[in-house]
Amino acid sequence: MTEKQIQTLMQNLDNDLLAKELDDLTNGLEIDLDSITKKAFTKLNKRRLKMKRKRIYPLVAASLIAVIGISNAYAAEISDFVGSFFNQRAIYSTVVDGSAYYLESPLQLDKESKLENVIFTKDKLEMSLTLTLTEDKPPEISVATANGKIYKPGGYGYDNNRLQLSFWNEAGHNYVFSPTKELKLNIGEKSYSIHLAEGAPVVGSGEIKPAEQTDIGWINVGYKKIDQGVQILTSFTDKDLKLVGIGEPVQKTVTRMFKNEKGIITSGTSSMTKPLLGYDKDKNIYTYNRAKNAVGRPVIQFESQAPADKEIELKIPGLLVGYEKDFGNFDVAIPGLNEEKRIDREIDLKLQKIILQSIKRTSATTAELKFALNTGDTAKVAVQEVSLYSKDVQSGDSVWQGDICTMRISFAEKLKNAEFNVSWPRFVVNGDWTLRIK
């Protein structure tokens, strides 16, 4: 028997047959699967979310949810609960506030490029294109609307020939948009007319049923039954608050990074949530997964194999929510080598508070900032992460875990003072809502 023959045999062992042999071989090796998984996801997230300049929304691309018709069913006796969902519109498998337009089906632009999806709302203009980049950056792209507004990419991500773009209003330096049905997409020298469809109102023909009462009064949670599962709806008394995800976060520890390098590159841990669990009266358990192929943000459509004729008690352990707004700046004096300075500066994030406790110079060009999280008195709300950005330093990496955040920064040796901007906090709200699905 040749070496090649035995090599071929060995390398084609079925996985299950090999598993035991590997168990024997790795016996005594301490393999920390959690640590490896975390590292692999952090690397993937950094890769996927490489963005430039302003932050970007993960782009939506998903199938359209069941169309919800307009109805006056509730017009006569609109409860406060149902009323709280007014002004929300369904696009793809998510909902947004106010008027909204989306691309109904992918559009072939030319031989090489295809427009996969577009979402255009009052604070969001995002699109996804399939095209091959010839350089390590996208071509000149802009969007023009009939009223003369021009929007340019504020961030992008590129993965597997899919270019994900988030636009901003360059003239206004903001994310304030005037959504319209018609727009012109300019890519390099080429121009394309795009026609968008209007999102459907959430409060329509389908009945929204509320979750069992919890002691959190500032969030309304309810559901609608749709073809394959349920659509979970939320509304907030604070209009600035937005839903980020439904359910318990997959990752307990969140990492963020930024780098000032030919623009600003930022990335962060994914906001994925675990599937929801439903129980029938016999205590059978059913898993509710986010709708397949739905990559909109946040996905509110969940699918399961639960029988249609049984009442299911669907548990929602928590929600991820956030403010997409700026909370101002603070200055930090950089201490001398090996020095540590106490700061104790409180930062109010509306739903919670955090405190910058101290800064310690760890080398000539690095320092470590310590934050205490969840120092406010809002029950059941935990800070998951906050964007802390400084243009004065070269890079920053932060780890958010439990009640502590540690941030390491790198900077030029002569730096005396760094100004940090606080924005886009994200929270975990542990509400333990229950939906009785009939």
Partner 1 sequence: MNFSESELISEIKKRNLNAYESLIKEYTKPVYYLTYNILNIGNSKEDIEECVADVFLEVWLKINGFDSERSNFKTWVLIITKYKALTYKRKLKKNHVENIDDYQLEESDTVERQIIDRETQKKLLEIINSFNKTDKELFIRRYFYNEKISDIMQSLGLSRSALDNRLLRGRKIIKEVLSYD
Where along the sequence are the contacts to partner 1 (CB under 8 A)?
1, 3-15, 17-19, 21-26, 29-33, 35-37, 39-44, 47, 159-160, 270, 272
Cβ-based nearer residue to partner 1, 24 or 135: 24
**Nearest distance from residue 278's CB to partner 1, in Å?**
17
Encoded amino acid at 4, one letter: K
Please provide residue 22's backbone torsions phi and psi, each rounded to the nearest 5 degrees.
-65, -35
Cβ-based nearer residue to partner 1, 47 or 173: 47
Cβ-based nearer residue to partner 1, 57 or 85: 57
Cβ-based nearer residue to partner 1, 47 or 137: 47
**Nearest distance from residue 401's CB to partner 1, in Å?**
18
Encoded amino acid at 415, one letter: L
**Nearest distance from residue 22's CB to partner 1, in Å?**
5
> Measuring CA to CA, which residue among 383, 384, 408 is closest to residue 398?
408
Can you say whether the dihedral through the CA atoms of 346, 349, 354, 359 is positive or negative? negative
**Nearest distance from residue 44's CB to partner 1, in Å?**
6
> Measuring CA to CA, which residue among 35, 423, 396 is closest to residue 240?
423
Q: Calculate the dihedral angle through the C-alpha atoms of 290, 291, 292, 298, rounding to the nearest 10 degrees.
A: -70
CA distance 267 to 256: 6
Cβ-based nearer residue to partner 1, 17 or 75: 17
DSSP assignment letter at 19: H
**Nearest distance from residue 126's CB to partner 1, in Å?**
17
CA distance 87 to 319: 21
Cβ-based nearer residue to partner 1, 13 or 176: 13
Cβ-based nearer residue to partner 1, 2 or 134: 2
**Nearest distance from residue 19's CB to partner 1, in Å?**
8
Look-up of token digits 């929204």: 208
Ramachandran bin of 305, using left for φ above 0, alpha for ψ from -120 to 50, beta for the remaining angles: alpha
Alpha helices per DSSP H over 97-208: none
**Nearest distance from residue 164's CB to partner 1, in Å?**
11
**CB-CB neighbours of 375 under 10 Å:** 16
